[in-house]
Structures are given as C-alpha cells and as structure tokens.
Amino acid sequence: MVSEREIMKNDLLLRLKYFLLYFIFWLAFFEVVRILFLVYQFDSTLSCSLFNLLASFIHGFKLDLSATAYLLALPFLVMAAGSFLGGKWYSVFMNIYTFLFLFFAVSVVIVDVELYKYWGYRLDHTAFNYIDTTKEMFASVKIWAILKQLGVGVIMFNVFWIAYRKWIAHLIKNLKSGNFVAAGIFIFLFAFLIIPVRGGLGIAPANVGMVFFHKNPFLNHAAINVHWNLGYSFANLNESENNYKVVSDKQAEDFIKKLDKSDGYVEKVICVDRPNILIITLESFTTKVIGAMGDKRGATPNIDKFTEEGILFTNFFATGDRTDKGIVGILSGYPSQPTKSIIKFTGKNSKLPNLAYDLEETGYFTSFFYGGTIDFANFRSYLVNSNFSSMVTIDDFDPEFRTSKWGVHDHILFSKVLDGLNNCTEPFFSVVLTLSSHEPFDVPMETFIHGRDEENRFLNSVYYTDKSLGNFIKAAKTQSWWDKTLVILVADHGARNPGNSPVYALEKFRIPMIWIGGAVADGGRKVTKYGSQTDIPQTLFGQLNMNKNYPFSKDLFAGESRSFAFYTFNDGWGFVTDTLTQVFDNINHLLIIEEGEGKSKTPFQGSIYLQQTYQDFLNK
C-alpha cells in the first residue's frame, strides 16, 4: 500500500515536471519565432554570417528567458494558492491560460514578421496607433498575403497546441489536495522569477537594448523577443496627444525658428581644420562643486586649472536630470522630456541625428568608453544606433578591476582611454563617460574631503574624478595627437548636492562646459551666452564648417544666436535667458520661479518650447 507521504511526493514531482516542460515549451516557441523571423526576412538573413545569426539567438536568449518568466508568474502563484485543492480544476485553468496566450502570441508573430518588411522595426505599440484605419491598412495588403499569414498562424498554433496537449497537459490532470510542501516550493519559485524577469542579477533591469550587439540593425532586431518588446513598449507607452499644447502648431514652429536664427557669422575658436574631438562626460559634475565657478571647497583643482587654459562656458545647463537624457542631449542635440526619456524608445532614438554617425561619415574614427554596463536605460540600443566604430564597456575590463558598484573606477577607465586613443586612426571622435562620482561615492583613494554624510562623500568622489582627469590630461599632453585635439569637458547632468537643491532649481541643472586641447586657438576666455547640452552638436559643426540638421541645437559661437537654455524635470520645465528666468510646474500649472523682464506673459516661452519638442518626440 502506498503511503500518504509517497503520494504527496509523487504529486509534487508531477507538478515540477509539468512546469519544467512548460518552461521548455515557451522557450522553444520563442526560438521558433526567431527562426521564422529570419526566414521571412530571407534576403537580410542571407547577407549575415552564420556566426552573427547564431549570436542573435545567444544575445536574444536573455529576453526569451524574461518573457518566459513573465508567462510562468501567474501559473506559479495560482499553483501555490491552490495546492490545498485537488481534482482537475488546475488542469482546466492551465488549458485555458495556455490556449489564450498561445493564440495571442501566434497572432503577434504573424503580424510582426510581415510588418517588419515595411516598417523595419519589431512590432510595438505604434502599430496600434493605426487601429482606427483598419480599412486603409487592409486595402494596402494583398489578399493572398493575408491568407498566407492566417495559414502560417493556424499551422503554428496547432503544432504547439497539440504538443502541449500531448506531452505536457496530462501531467496535472489529477492533482492531490493538501500538498503544503508544493505550496511552499511554488511560492519560492514565484519569488525566484524576479531574476529572469529582470534579465539577471545585474544592476540594470531588462530592456530591449540589452540584446543589441552589432552595427547591423537587422541582427539586433533579430535578437529582440517581439512579445517582450510589445509589452515593454506598452508599459512605457506615451500618450499620442500632446498634453503640453498651448498654441497652434504653426506658432510653435515659428517660435523655434526664431530661437534658432543667427546672422550667419561664426567665430572660430579652434586652429585645426579637422581636429580630433574628445568629449569627456563627467558624472554629476554640477557647477556647485567647481572652484573656478565660485566653490571654495577645493574639490576640482585640475578643472579649475583647465578653465584658465581653455574656454569656459559660464551659463551652461543640462537638458535633464539623468545620464540617459544628458547623453542624448550631447550627442543628438535633443531636449529631454519631462516624464519620458527618448533613449528608452528604440524606434524613436534610432531616428535621432547623432554626432558619432555624422562624423564617421566624414572619415572620423569613432569610439565610446564607459567603465560600466550599457544595458541600463536602453543605452545599448542608442549607442549601437549611433554607429560607434568601437565601444569599450565593463566587459572589456578584467574582473579584478570591477571594484565599483557600477563597474571600474575612473582612473582605470582613463588608462584604457589613453591606450585606445594612442592606437586608433586620426582624426578621431571619442566619447568618455565617467562613473565614480555616482552614488554610493566610494572611491579608491585616501579621503581628501572628510565627513561621512552624503554631501561630503559626493565632494570626495568629485575630487577623485578630478584627480583622475588631471592625470589623464597630463599624460595626453605628451602624446602626438594632443596638438590636433579638441577636448570638451561637460557633465552628464547636475546634482542635488551640495546644498540639497530642489528638484526644479536652476543651480541643480547648471553644469560646466570647458574646451581645452591643442586645437583651441585662444584659451583663458569665458563664454557667457546661455546654452545647454543640446547646443554642443551645432557649436561643434560650426567650428568644423559642416552643415548638419539638428533642429533643437544652436551654435553658441554664431553671431546673434539666441542666448537661452531649456531643461525639464518631472513634471516641469525651466527656461533661462539673459533677461528672464522661469521655472514651471506642469502638474499644478504653476510658475515656481519667475524673475526678470517679460514676467507673466502667457503663453510662456518655455511652454511653447516644450510643446514643439514634445510634439517632435511623439512624431518619431
């Protein structure tokens, strides 16, 4: 006679076997989907090497695991809660659950593989923007194509449904009641799903960009799990209507054109026709810590020295309050959005202009250096779309150097940068992003600014990065390429500390920008015109005698170009000129700060600027 304990043990094993097979079932489904995608895009697939095609499966497996984990979450939870009940109820539940999700998943596939041929990106929420024009959509599709896709869908659904019913479903037809051990195990398994859902144990949660690995966009698109992508795009869905509209579209467009107007004269401040360009983006370097800009705590002795030998921009602002917004501002001249970040929308950020892309087209070798992971905030997709010739990230450093929470410390990063620049072709365009002055502010040096409170730890980390930067510049000045190089020092964003500034405050967004290097003609000068990170592209192109379209970027050395800066916070904006300062809260429709001429004139200039930039964001 079989004991009760043995019965419960066998019951538990059946449950576990069922979910192991169910897990494999969905993983197999997603791999078949990727194969089908490659078959449908046959010409593009043929142009890729077998190695790279296999790599798309390997890189895409992360999102496949994440998508599978999402699908297992509800069944695990229901299994745990219902372990005290026996009978066939759970089998019925899982049959319905699997049928519905399989039907949905197959429907997504047959639309995605066909639509990609026309749109060039994987299915996301934007396809549903045209749901009210179904008649027009079908009118542009041949009937045989619709029938073909329906046929593929029917075959695919039946193959997987029959496989599930034959080899998996029968395992849970007669579960036993009162299996307390099973309840505990499935609660644990439910909690464990957070790891594959997040894409692993790293700091960065899963995002579409984490599977990007190649300059060829098609290979990156092949790596995407389209079901995960669709869910992600809806989770980050932005409204299709512009809620920031205050004037007509024509008035907003005219306003932007007036802001961009200049007399055509550009002051030349560099003495090399095609200089090497090195942009060093300093994590959280607010002007509040810069000695040359008024701070007395001595955290930036090297930067203070650079302001004397280069060009200091004294009224310069970050476009947003996060690195993902700052990088887009610097490289694409694109303003930040109050509650969204365009970098997280792969389809949108791929349409942005980009310094790296444009300079590579003119013969520059382009490179990006960062000591951390770029699988954060969808950075990878943006950087891959930027078409950098070379990217150095945390994976390119030995594990022994990864002693910071975020990756490798700045002095190690700068050593890698120096080696990279010494061994690349000229002219080069290189972007460096530091990280040591990010929380938790732990740096590998003897404490210079004492105090364990957050403010002093931040200042101490700034001192460390400044020291690392100083050593790098000192070494760079001895290299053959220095005399032909323009170095742009700029922060990715400001910081709350020192002083615990409010989220909207001007001083929180005011950052340094300094131009140094052998290519700078006249050092020791200051530029007082108001500008922001978004103005870097056109200011740079003005010095290179290049004409590129960056609609929200102005040349700070162009005669009569408007002196203004615009930034956003959640959910509001700041607009600053020589004569006016306004900071506005969009939620409460309230001016938080208003100083200078033209006060209380509505609609506010910042509101019009936000309307136009946000409309551009929606249109991409």
**Number of C-beta neighbours around residue 121 at 10 A:** 16
CA atoms within 13 A on the CB side of 344: 22
Domain boundary among 545, 560, 588: 545
Based on the structure, what is the number of domains in the chain? 2
Residue 174 lies in a domain: yes
Q: 345-374 pLDDT, tens per residue?
A: 888 999 999 999 999 999 999 999 999 999
Asked whether residue 309 falls in the same domain as residue 224, the answer is no
Rounded to whole angstroms, the Cα distance separating 173 from 175 reads: 6
Lowest mean pLDDT segment, chosen from 2-11, 73-82, 413-422, 485-494: 2-11
Q: Tell me which range, 36-50, 118-132, 201-215, 224-238, is most confidently predicted by mean pLDDT.
A: 36-50
Residue 356 lies in a domain: yes
Asked whether residue 68 falls in the same domain as residue 164, the answer is yes
Residue 143 lies in a domain: yes
What is the predicted pLDDT for the residue at 178?
A: 62
pLDDT of 86 > 70? The answer is: no
Q: Is 519 helix (H, G, I), strand (E, B) or coil?
A: coil
Q: Which domain holds residue 94?
A: 4-235
Residue for token pair 């040359």: 292
Domain boundary among 545, 578, 611: 545
Rounded to whole angstroms, the Cα distance separating 350 from 150 reads: 31
Answer positive or negative: Cα dihedral of 342, 58, 204, 389: negative
Q: Is 120 helix (H, G, I), strand (E, B) or coil?
A: coil
Lowest mean pLDDT segment, chosen from 154-163, 167-176, 292-301, 440-449: 167-176
**Number of C-beta neighbours around residue 131 at 10 A:** 8
Residue 553 lies in a domain: no
Asked whether residue 190 falls in the same domain as residue 308, the answer is no
pLDDT of 384 > 60? The answer is: yes
What is the predicted pLDDT for the residue at 263?
A: 67
Contacts of range 503-507, beta carbons closer than 8 Å, 24 or more positions apart: 503/321, 503/569, 503/570, 504/569, 504/572, 504/574, 504/583, 504/585, 504/592, 504/593, 505/583, 506/317, 506/574, 506/576, 506/581, 506/583, 506/593, 507/286, 507/287, 507/288
Give me the mean pLDDT over the 395-399 stretch: 95
The domain that holds 518 is classified in CATH as 3.40.720.10
DSSP-derived secondary structure for 54-83: HHHHHHHHHHHHHHHHHHHHHHHHHHHHTT
Lowest mean pLDDT segment, chosen from 145-154, 232-241, 444-453, 500-509: 232-241
Which residue type sits at 250? K
Give me the mean pLDDT over the 2-28 stretch: 85
Asked whether residue 329 falls in the same domain as residue 408, the answer is yes
Give me the mean pLDDT over the 128-152 stretch: 70
Q: What predicted TM-score, i.e. pTM, was given to this entire model?
A: 0.84
Q: 89-112 pLDDT, tens per residue?
A: 888 999 999 999 999 999 999 999
Give me the mean pLDDT over the 38-48 stretch: 94
What is the predicted pLDDT for the residue at 160?
A: 98
CA atoms within 13 A on the CB side of 71: 26
Asked whether residue 195 falls in the same domain as residue 82, the answer is yes
**Number of C-beta neighbours around residue 32 at 10 A:** 14
Asked whether residue 156 falls in the same domain as residue 103, the answer is yes
Beta carbons of 111 and 148 less than 8 angstroms apart: no
Q: Is 145 helix (H, G, I), strand (E, B) or coil?
A: helix
Percentage of the chain exceeding pLDDT 70: 94
pLDDT of 315 > 90? The answer is: yes
pLDDT of 575 > 70? The answer is: yes
Q: 159-206 pLDDT, tens per residue?
A: 999 999 999 999 988 777 666 787 788 889 888 999 999 888 877 788
Asked whether residue 182 falls in the same domain as residue 326, the answer is no
Give me the mean pLDDT over the 19-36 stretch: 97
Asked whether residue 99 falls in the same domain as residue 228, the answer is yes
Facing residues of 430 across strands? 278, 367
Give me the mean pLDDT over the 529-553 stretch: 96
Q: Where are the alpha helices (DSSP H) in 201-352?
A: 217-223, 226-235, 249-259, 301-309, 323-332, 346-349
Tell me whether strands 590-596 and 580-585 are parallel, antiparallel or unpaired: antiparallel
Domain boundary among 545, 574, 589: 545
Structure tokens at 474: 């000192």
Q: What is the DSSP letter of 589?
A: T
Asked whether residue 210 falls in the same domain as residue 330, the answer is no
Asked whether residue 286 falls in the same domain as residue 161, the answer is no
pLDDT of 489 > 80? The answer is: yes
Give me the mean pLDDT over the 233-258 stretch: 85
Asked whether residue 223 falls in the same domain as residue 344, the answer is no
Give Dmax over CA atoms of the chain in angstroms.
98
Give 1's pLDDT tier (boundaries 50, 70, 90).
Answer: low
Residue 534 lies in a domain: yes
Core vs surface per residue 360-389: b (16+ CB within 10 A) or e? beeebbbbbbbbbbbbbbbbbbbbbbbbbb
Residue 466 lies in a domain: yes
Residue 597 lies in a domain: no
Residue 261 lies in a domain: no
Instruction: Return the higher-pLDDT residue of 1 and 242.
Output: 242
